[in-house]
Amino acid sequence: MDYWKNKTVVITGGSQGLGWVIAQAFANAGSRLVLAALGDPQLTAATQALRDAGTDVIGVPTDITRQPDVDQLVRQSHQQFGRVDVLVNCAGRSARGNVLETTPEQFQQLLDLNFLAMVRCTRAFGEDLIESKGHIINIGSLAAKSASRHLGGYAASKFPVAAYSQQLRLELNARGVHVLLVCPGPIARSDAGRRYDDQATELPESARQPGAGVRLKGIPPEKLVAAILRACERRRPELVMPGRARWLFALAQLSPTLGDWILTKMTR
């Protein structure tokens, strides 16, 4: 765990959900943290909880879909810590809906947060990470590799994350920057099955479930985060959980017809 000691880690979406679990893991490893999230009580509470536990941390109210906010995030990170070693692009949201009923505006909103905000933050911290030969951790989804039914514009907003991460790896590897794409299945959480009630009123009941009804057990977030840190330490290019999903990705590339059949069978 000494690997992460005194490294400065910027985490978007770091005050709740998976981002909060990531923040706690880096704090336990001795890192210095910058939590970037919308300026709400959760950000204040998360920052204070880490500070009370002895972590060197700041919370920066940030709307990562706005360039001025991202510029301010960079300034405050530099002012507080001077350097940045790790960028975790974790902020994002899922969606539910039939694709033909999803408007261009809804697609754009998801793209702005799930992909373009990642581009914005990565560009902003790019020189820092080249200088520190650091890590970029992009939180994608199984939907970054394979679409599914009833996800609205979510899969279309996550597919670019996989391509962007690969291009970053190819261009930055020679400059010492490690890029990790994380593609998890549904993550276990207390509100599973209720999060999308307002979006899924006209959809099958299964669409309300994690992964829009995909037949996969929810991943404990602590298990996922431990795997993320290990993958970074080993400078792996990708982390897919569950690992057997890679077989689906490979089969879908070899035979889209077979891939579609499996996806249909795997969702309720």
Residue 54 is predicted with a pLDDT of: 97
Q: Which of 38-42, 82-86, 135-139, 195-199 bottoms out in mean pLDDT, i.e. has the lowest?
A: 195-199
Q: 87 vs 96, which has greater pLDDT?
A: 87
pLDDT-above-70 percentage for the chain: 89
Q: Which residue has the higher pLDDT, 260 or 224?
A: 224
Q: What is the pLDDT of residue 206?
A: 55
Q: Residues 31, 10: contact at Cβ < 8 Å?
A: no
pLDDT surpasses 90 at 148: no
pLDDT at position 72 is 98
For residues 192 and 186, the answer to whether their CB atoms sit within 8 Å is yes
Q: How far apart are CA 27 and CA 156, in angstroms?
A: 33
Q: What are the structural domains, with CATH classification, of the chain?
A: 2-266 (3.40.50.720)
